[in-house]
Amino acid sequence: VGPTARASGVGRDIRVEAPYAAYDAFPVKSILATAGDLEARFVVRLQELFESYRVIRQILDELPAGELTAKRMPRRIKPGEVISRVEAPRGELFYFIKSNGSELPERIKVRTPTLCNMASVLTLTVGHHLADVPMILVGIDPCFSCNDRGVTLRRAAGADYWDWERLRQFGIDFYAGKGTHHG
């Protein structure tokens, strides 16, 4: 996704495919390359900086005079579900939020672009030396902390939860069983 995909000729860009916020009024030119290598990913990112600068200048030039106003967000969100997709610097950032009407969300799911881009490393490293792997990783601009999440749960009476040790053990057991979960 994002610059990693666009450097391989995949023209996916949420700002273009499904314009949100002000992208209808300020269209973005999607930057593409086809080589799919480290240099192509660098060039796409560099050209995207210039495209972002162009859009920012256009917005500032057309910004109306006057006071900025922002509505105050309510403490409680009406029950419902929402999906949000935005084009982050590394690619598509996905949010799912479910509200039950309380002050706290019932469920939040975040999928960062790094998660999708890490899958490409298997293909990108084929035919390369081990010493090339750090540069290949840098080329997809991974955010490792985006993929390393901890969850704090409020315990309810009788509720089952997984702490870090249980999650770690599940991973060990899962891979020892070659990808099959035995309950």
pLDDT in tens, 121-161: 888 999 999 899 999 999 999 988 887 654 545 556 666 76
pLDDT tens digit sequence for 73-122:
777 889 999 999 999 999 999 999 999 998 888 899 899 999 889 888 88
Question: What's the whole-model pTM score?
Answer: 0.73
pLDDT on residue 10 = 96
Q: Which residues contact 26 (CB under 8 A, 6 or more apart)?
A: 55, 58, 59
Which pLDDT band, with edges at 50, 70 and 90, does 52 fall under? very high
Answer with the residue of higher pLDDT: 166 or 92. Answer: 92
State the DSSP string of the chain.
Answer: -HHHHHTTT----HHHHS--TTTTTS--PPP--SS-SHHHHHHHHHHHHHHHHHHHHHHHHHPPSS----PPPPSSPPSEEEEEEEEETTEEEEEEEEE-SSSS-SEEEEE-HHHHHHTHHHHHTTT--GGGHHHHHHHT---GGGG------PPPTT-----HHHHHHHHHHHHHTTS----
Structural domain spans, the chain: 2-62
Distance of CA 29 to the CA centre of its chain: 20
What are phi and psi for residue 84, nearest 5 degrees? -130, 130
Q: What residues are paired with 82 via a beta bridge?
A: 97
Identify the residue with better confidence: 58 or 77.
58
Residue indicated by tokens 């991974």: 142
- Higher-pLDDT residue of 183, 12: 12
